[in-house]
């Protein structure tokens, strides 16, 4: 099916576009009353993720309501640990919780490499259904968590500011960490390839907890697995996003990815100098700016676009949109991007 709006795909491939494409991380979610209505009709977050028809509905909402240039499938990075045999619960106001964790060889022996067709069929069905319902309006983005970020949750068992238990494993039992990371990586590659087969037009790999590692540890325990994923997926453009890891940008420039996402603390001019001109950059407005006045949002957006310059760029926030953000402020950001004239 021919896409009516392929701006984001052309930008990701490094082609010049008539304007900068825009989407938001966490755009399908809590900022929209329409999303909250769907969520309220179900038992909770996991039922929404695991019900293809409802996941499809909330994936498409931002396309209709916000006017973004891409949809991103409504799912969660933690579907991979669950598919490996380590189920999680989403605890209201606390986040994810794992009753079991992987901290020993014995625990590792009880899980397996995820099979996307057996263990994650509901995500693939949601992608196929969404692709059909979008009817070529905009591209559909698939995603997965980076192996290091997934390990963090599987070892820690819950969210954390430091993930000190996960980081402890890197020093006390590095071989166990590498074994777990390889299992996550192998399953993630299969999962992302299955997403492409189901209809995903591009992919993003989220390394949300990259910033808790030193540069040395990231090079040992994270980068090699990101490289495996990028090398294994030539079919569609891949975006890598490592939050808080300024030190890795030059290394990401060498990966077989098309786009590198920047968080809001990364300066676009400095980042471009480090990365070079062969990659598309994505980002990176501070999500908190969306609490400001519409005039301030427009000014900040214009400055951001100017900072990224004329090289290929996909406009986004520097992380996910915050749940108490006014949807009208989000629309203001999107409209400011669309109104910006490229030289």
| Cα four-point dihedral sign 91, 97, 98, 99 | negative
Spatial CB neighbours of 46, under 8 Å, sequence gap ≥ 6: 89, 90
- Which of 6, 88, 103, 153 is an active site residue? 153
| Known active-site residue 39 | yes
- Which of 69, 76, 190, 251 is an active site residue? 76
| Known active-site residue 291 | no
- Which of 30, 36, 137, 168 is an active site residue? 30
| Known active-site residue 322 | no
DSSP labels for 296-338? Answer: HHHHHHHHHHHHHTTS-EEEEESSPPPTT--HHHHHHHHHHHH
Distance of CA 32 to the CA centre of its chain: 19
Determine the length of the chain. Answer: 343
Q: CA–CA distance from 172 to each of 103, 175, 217, 224, 229 (Å)?
A: 10, 9, 13, 20, 26
| Known active-site residue 272 | no
Contact 263, 319 (CB under 8 A): yes
| Known active-site residue 342 | no
**Structure-block tokens of residue 290:** 């969306």
Backbone angles phi, psi at 79, to 5 degrees: -65, -25
| Cα four-point dihedral sign 327, 309, 252, 213 | negative
C-alpha 22/C-alpha 138 separation (Å) is: 11
**Which sequence positions are flagged as catalytic?**
26, 30, 39, 76, 153
């Amino acid at each position: 099916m021919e896409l009516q709006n392929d701006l984001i795909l052309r930008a990701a491939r490094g082609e010049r576009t008539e304007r900068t494409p825009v989407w938001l991380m966490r755009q399908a979610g809590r900022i929209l009353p329409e999303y909250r209505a769907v969520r309220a009709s179900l038992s909770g977050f996991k039922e929404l993720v695991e019900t293809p028809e409802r996941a499809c509905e909330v994936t498409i909402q931002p396309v209709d309501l916000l006017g973004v240039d891409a949809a991103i499938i409504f799912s969660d990075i933690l579907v991979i640990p669950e598919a490996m045999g380590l189920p999680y619960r989403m605890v209201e106001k606390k986040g994810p919780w794992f009753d079991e964790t992987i901290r020993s060889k014995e625990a590792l022996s009880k899980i397996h490499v995820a099979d996307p067709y057996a263990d994650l069929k509901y995500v693939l069905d949601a992608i196929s259904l969404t692709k059909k319902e979008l009817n070529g309006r905009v591209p559909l983005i698939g995603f997965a968590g980076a192996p290091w970020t997934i390990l963090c949750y599987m070892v820690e068992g819950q969210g954390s500011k430091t993930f000190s238990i996960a980081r402890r494993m890197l020093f006390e039992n590095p071989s166990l960490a590498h074994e777990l990371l390889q299992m996550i990586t192998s399953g993630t590659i299969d999962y992302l390839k299955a997403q492409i087969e189901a209809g995903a037009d591009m992919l993003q790999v989220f390394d949300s907890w990259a910033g808790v590692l030193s540069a040395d540890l990231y090079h040992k325990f994270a980068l090699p697995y990101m490289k495996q994923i990028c090398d294994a997926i030539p079919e569609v453009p891949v975006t890598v996003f490592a939050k808080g890891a300024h030190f890795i940008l030059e290394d990401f420039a060498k990966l077989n990815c098309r786009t590198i996402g920047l968080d809001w603390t990364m300066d676009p001019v400095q980042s471009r100098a480090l990365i070079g001109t062969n990659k598309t950059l994505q980002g990176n407005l501070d999500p908190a700016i969306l609490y400001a006045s519409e005039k301030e949002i427009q000014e900040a957006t214009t400055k951001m676009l100017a900072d990224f310059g004329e090289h290929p760029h996909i406009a986004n926030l520097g992380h996910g949109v915050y749940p108490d953000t006014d949807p009208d402020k989000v629309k203001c950001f999107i409209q400011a991007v669309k109104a910006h004239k490229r030289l």
